[in-house]
Chain A
Amino acid sequence: MEILLAIVIGGLFGSGIYLLLRRNPVKLVIGFALLSNAVNLLIFVCAGLTRGVPPLIPEPEIRPLAEIADPLPQALILTAIVISFAMLAFTLVLFRRTFETLGTSDLDELRTTDQ
């Protein structure tokens, strides 16, 4: 399973990088989303996969009964998902505004600071 997921991560990284290199801003933002997903999955897989045991403590115990999935990478990824969403939303609206103001859809035309 890990090897399969490693290939999925590679695929996501590759397509994310390719889209980031496009000149259309929409593609760039989508590439950014793909790259964040790839990074989240990378952390998740590298921390080790445990099938089906969520890190929960059942009532009325004070510690988990069985061996649980590692909670720390999950906490990291949870934060990362939210942060990358914030950045994605901002970038998307920024490009929308840029497109509205400058009327160009080509990032290569945005070369100088005074337009």
Chain B
Amino acid sequence: MLWSVLSAFALALCAPWLVRLRPAESGWILALLPAALSLYFFGQITSVALGVPVVESTPWVAQFGIYLSFYLDGLSLLFALLITGVGALIVVYAGSYLAGDAQLGRFYLYLISFMGAMLGLVLAGNLITLFIFWELTSISSYFLIGFRHREEASRAAALQALLVTAGGGLALMAAFVLIGIAGGSFELSVLLQQGDLLFAHPLYGAIVILVLLGCFTKSAQVPFHFWLPSAMQAPTPVSAYLHSVTMVKAGVYLLARLSPVLGGSALWQWSLLSAGALTMLLGAAMALGQTDLKRILAYTTVNALGTLVFLLGIGTETAIHAAIVFLLVHSLYKGALFLIAGIVDHETGTRDIRRLGGLVTRMPLIAALASLAALSMAGIPPLVGFIGKETIYHAVLEAPVAASFLIVLAVLANIFLVVAAAMMTIKPFFGTAASDLDAHGGHGVSAAIAAGPFLLAAAGLLVGLFPALVDARLLTPAAEAIFAQATIVKLALWHGINAPLVLSALTLAAGFVLYSRGAFLARAAQWGGRLAPWGPDRWYRASVSALLAGARAQTRVLQHGYLSLYIFVAFAVVILLGAIPFWLQGLPPLAVWTEQVQFFELIIALLILAAAAAAIRSPSRLGAIVSMGVIGYGIALIFIEFGAPDLAMTQFIIETITVILFVLVIYRLPSYVELSSRSSRIRDALVATAGGVLMTVFVLAALGAGTESRLIDFFAEETYPAARGRDIVNVILVDFRAMDTLGEIAVLGLAGAGVVALLRIRPGKSASRRKS
């Protein structure tokens, strides 16, 4: 399985090169890998159906419990098949859809790396691995939404999607770390076997809320749904693949995956139920206010994601069956409809349902496929959408809480879905076109572009007629993985006349009545337009601009460009932080007066202090430099007095060179003029005094804590036997710590080179002359 993920990334890297080599056939060639992978996963069906998950593990950062491990059970397998199978169709479709685009290679690079990331996400057997793939899907989605990066709307939509999903990703990372703490492992196989160990843990509530934040943002649940319709700026193959069939279901996948570990509490159930129900209803209702084919599809996708979360929230055996069935159903019809919307856009140049019409005469095959997919969406037998809706009604009717209320919501949402399906097909394909619609343009529908919708719509019909193709082998293992108990998904078109069938008939009838009353739709569109500016999109915009304004304001305050103020703030903060421990805990024992001060030592100390004062007060540069030299020589005398002749020698030499250097350049340097105001001098003097006092206290405190060295004995014993030297300081420098000295020489050499460069090379001469 590791290879299946890695091969996708490898192919992504080769894609731009391949496109340059064979631009016309690149789609077909690149689709070979996803097709082969889907065959590989198809071959795994039998072994997974036995109920034993396939686990592979490679150590990665083993000391932190992070393994590159993969876990294939029924749930992962269903997703893996969707990702690779639909992926192959999308790759072929995109080759034709974006034919001639100069950036096709880059597009494939993003698209196929997304496929690898998504595959890794659903196959990951370690939470940290899963998280990394999760973030990779967000990032590749960002690039794909912003593919038309010259358009501002695309860039804004890409950023919005990234901020929302990556924000949720942060919450998810926190959740995973907490799960690792509470459950003792990041491995899914371990966590899933622990059952409800996490349930009783004190961190449980925090874990659930953080997981839900991550999943709800990724799967566009209300109130985080707004990024999904904006993401329709992406090229249509991307909308079909990422924002309908795969990536947006990652949140649903994770909820399903963690259901056995986290599910079952009231918190979990009610959060999923309420967010899911709201999203289901609002998504379907808002779809009716749209006129753009892709935006209608986007809102119905929001509805579908809400439905899935809603069903997981109900959490009963039948609800999980319904979720799994609907997952497949939705992928088939929504993938087909998205691809058809792309074809319509391509052929007519518009996706506006008010202008489209009569497409059946121009593309009869596409019209037939669109009808099939829309019938499945509306839930009409014998298509698989009918089975999907029946199982949903069945599950909701059996819901343990508030069943009668929930069924009203579900039926209402499905009525809207029927209307949306009718809106997208009846008028555009069979109605009359707006007079200005380009009736002759278009490129003709190629095999590559028709293959995707054909296979998806046909699969919808086939599975509807023969549900036994999938229920036992594919859907049952997936449902078992969520339900964590043995369960059997059994699907059939005809169950006899029962409550779900009656509700289905009611839904259809109500849907068609609503659709046939044009006034209703017009009013829905009106309401949609009126409410749109008040949605969460507005809050998103407001918070982004507030963030930017805050960043600008603090930059203006902090990055003012005055060097002396930067230094002032740095010192003031250090002094404050250094003083806080003394202030909180009182002074530690300070050094006491032990050694006698000899007279000339007192003179040296006073000389240094006087010279320091003179360096500050001196009105001339030369005076200040001489004072600096006096300080240096004074310190050298202290070194001599306290047993450090090497230091004294170095200090004498360096101090002399420094003074000479200063004197050499002094007439090239600005002379002293009074620059700062009296108040700023007082302010600086206060900070400087505080710094000096603090350092004095530090020294006294350090001395009070004792000064025994543990290393003197080592150096005293080892210097001669080990290094044959008699000056211990020298031996440390050239032998024990020789590498340090080498580094020091390198620094000296670099500084010397810098000095020479600054003195001799003059690139800016002409520029400065021009300026003056």
Chain A residues within 8 Å of B, Cβ to Cβ: 1-15, 17-27, 30, 33-34, 37-38, 40-42, 44-59, 61-64, 68-72, 74-75, 77-79, 81-83, 85-90, 92-97, 99-108, 110-112
Residue of A nearest to B755 (CB): A93
Check A75 against B661 for contact (C-beta < 8 Å): no
User: Contact check: which of A12, A23, A33, A69 meets B658 at CB < 8 Å?
Assistant: A33
- List A contacts of B764 (CB < 8 A): 101
CA of A26 to CA of B672 in the docked complex: distance in angstroms?
A: 8
A93 and B613 CA atoms in complex are apart in Å by 25
What 0/1 readout, one digit per residue, does chain B (569-611) give for beta carbons within 8 Å of chain A?
0010000000000000000000101111100011001001100
Q: What are 6 contact pairs spanning A and B, CB under 8 A?
A: A1-B595, A2-B591, A27-B672, A63-B720, A74-B647, A89-B661
Choose one: B707, B741, B744; the contact of A48 (CB below 8 Å): B707
Per-position binary interface string of chain B over residues 693-736, scored 1 when its CB falls under 8 Å from any chain A CB and 0 otherwise: 11110111011000111011001110111000111110011000
Tell me if B628 and A30 are in contact (CB < 8 A): yes
Give the CA-CA distance A54 to B694 in the complex, in Å: 30
Considering the chains assembled together, what is the distance between the CA atoms of A77 and B754 in angstroms? 24
If over half of B's interface residues share one DSSP class (helix, strand or loop), that class is named, otherwise mixed; here it is helix
Partner of B612, one of A15, A50, A61, A62: A15
Name the B residues within 8 Å of A62 (CB-CB). Answer: 720-721
Q: B567 touching A20 by the CB < 8 A rule?
A: yes
A8 CA to B613 CA, complexed, in Å: 11
Q: From residue A48, how far is it (CB to closest CB) to chain B in Å?
A: 3
CB distance from B653 to the nearest CB of A (A): 9
Tell me the bound Cα distance from A99 to B768 in angstroms: 12
Determine whether the beta carbon of B591 is less than 8 Å from that of A3: yes
Q: Is the CB of B642 within 8 A of A49?
A: yes
Question: Are B699's CB and A54's CB within 8 A?
Answer: no
Interface contact tally, CB-CB below 8 A: 302
B64 interface residue (CB < 8 Å to A): no
Kindly list chain B residues whose C-beta atoms are within 8 Å of the C-beta of A85.
Answer: 654, 657-658
The answer to whether B563 touches A107, judged by C-beta atoms less than 8 angstroms apart, is yes
Most B CB within 10 A of own CB, among A38, A75, A111: A75
Name the residue among A14, A64, A79, A108 with the largest chain B CB count within 10 angstroms. Answer: A14
Q: Which residue of A7, A51, A82 contacts B642 across the interface (Cβ within 8 Å)?
A: A51
**Set A1, A41, A68, A81: member contacting B712, Cβ < 8 A:** A68
Beta-carbon contacts under 8 Å, B631-690 to A: 631-632, 635, 638-639, 641-647, 650-651, 654, 657-658, 661-662, 665-666, 668-673, 675-676, 684-685, 687-689
Contact residues in B for A59 (Cβ distance below 8 Å): 726
B185 to chain A, nearest CB (A): 47
Q: Measured between C-beta atoms, what is the minimum distance from A91 to chain B in Å?
A: 9
- Asked whether, in the complex, the Cβ of B564 is within 8 Å of the Cβ of A79, the reply is no
Measured CB to CB, the nearest residue on chain B to A110 is B563
The interface centre, meaning the residue of A11, A40, A61, A71 with most chain B CB atoms within 10 A of its CB, is A71
Using CB atoms, name the residue of chain B closest to A10.
B696
**A17 touches which of B571, B720, B772 (Cβ 8 Å):** B571
Are A21 and B564 in touch, CB under 8 angstroms? yes
Taking a contact as CB atoms under 8 Å apart, the answer to whether B646 and A74 are in contact is yes
Find out whether the CB atom of A71 lies under 8 angstroms from the CB atom of B696.
no
- Give residues in B with beta carbon < 8 Å to A: 560-564, 567-568, 571, 591, 593-597, 601-602, 605, 608-609, 612-613, 615-616, 621, 624-625, 628, 631-632, 635, 638-639, 641-647, 650-651, 654, 657-658, 661-662, 665-666, 668-673, 675-676, 684-685, 687-689, 691-696, 698-700, 702-703, 707-709, 711-712, 715-717, 719-721, 725-729, 732-733, 737, 740-741, 744, 747-748, 750-752, 754-755, 758-759, 764, 768, 772
CB distance from B304 to the nearest CB of A (A): 53
- In the bound assembly, the distance between CA atoms of A75 and B671 in angstroms comes to 37
Chain B residues with Cβ below 8 Å from A45 are 699, 703
Min distance, Cβ B717 to any Cβ of chain A, angstroms: 6
A37 touches B693 (CB 8 A): no
CB-nearest residue of chain A to B609: A11
Which residues of the partner chain A approach B703 to less than 8 Å between Cβ atoms? 2, 6, 45-46, 48
The answer to whether A18 and B643 touch across the interface, beta carbons within 8 angstroms, is no
Chain A positions within 8 Å of B758 at CB level: 90, 93-94, 96-97
- Is B716 a contact partner of A72 (Cβ separation < 8 A)? no
Tell me the smallest distance from the CB of A106 to a CB of chain B, in Å: 6
Chain A at the B interface: SS class: helix
Closest to A33 in B: B628
Q: CA of A97 to CA of B756 in the docked complex: distance in angstroms? A: 11
Contact of A111 among B562, B593, B712 (CB under 8 A): B562
Residue of A nearest to B680 (CB): A21
- B675, A74: Cβ atoms closer than 8 Å: no
Task: Kindly list chain B residues whose C-beta atoms are within 8 Å of the C-beta of A77.
Answer: 644, 647
Contacts of B561 in A (CB 8 A): 110-112
Q: Chain A residues near B568: list those with CB within 8 A.
A: 21
Q: If A23-B676, A50-B643, A86-B751 touch, does A57 touch B707 (CB 8 Å cutoff)?
A: no
Q: Which residues of B contact A8 (CB under 8 A)?
A: 605, 608-609
**Distance (Å) between the CB of B731 and the closest chain A CB?**
8
User: Are A25 and B669 also in contact (CB < 8 A) when A9-B699, A19-B615, A108-B562 are?
Assistant: yes
Q: Which residues of A contact B693 (CB under 8 A)?
A: 10, 14
For residue B560, give the distance in angstroms from its CB to the closest CB of chain A: 8
Complex Cα distance, B719 from A61, in Å, reads 11
A71 to B635, CA, bound (A): 17
Q: Which single residue of chain B is at the shortest CB-CB distance from A108?
A: B562
Task: Kindly state the separation between the CA atoms of A50 and B692 in the bound complex, as whole angstroms.
Answer: 25
A-side contacts of B708, CB under 8 Å: 48
Q: Which residues of B contact A24 (CB under 8 A)?
A: 670, 672-673, 675
Contact of B650 among A54, A64, A81, A108 (CB under 8 A): A81
Most-contacted residue by chain B among A21, A27, A87, A88 (CB, 10 A) = A21
Q: Which A residues are in CB contact (< 8 Å) with B755? A: 89-90, 93
B residues near A7, Cβ cutoff 8 Å: 605, 609, 696
Q: Which residue of the partner chain B has the closest CB to A35?
A: B691
The answer to whether residues A15 and B615 also contact, given A8-B605, A46-B699, A49-B642 and a CB cut-off of 8 A, is yes
Q: Which one, B595, B631, B646, B672, contacts A2 given CB within 8 A?
A: B595
CA A63 – CA B597 in complex, angstroms?
30
Known: A5-B699, A56-B726, A63-B716. 11 other contacts (CB 8 A): A2-B591, A13-B691, A17-B684, A21-B568, A22-B684, A49-B642, A54-B643, A72-B711, A78-B647, A89-B661, A108-B562
Cβ–Cβ < 8 Å partners of A25 in chain B: 669-670
Please give, as numbers and ranges, the residues of chain B lying within 8 Å of A100 by CB-CB distance: 668
Contact B669 A81 (CB under 8 A): no
Q: Choose from B675, B691, B772 the contact partner of A22 (Cβ within 8 Å).
A: B675
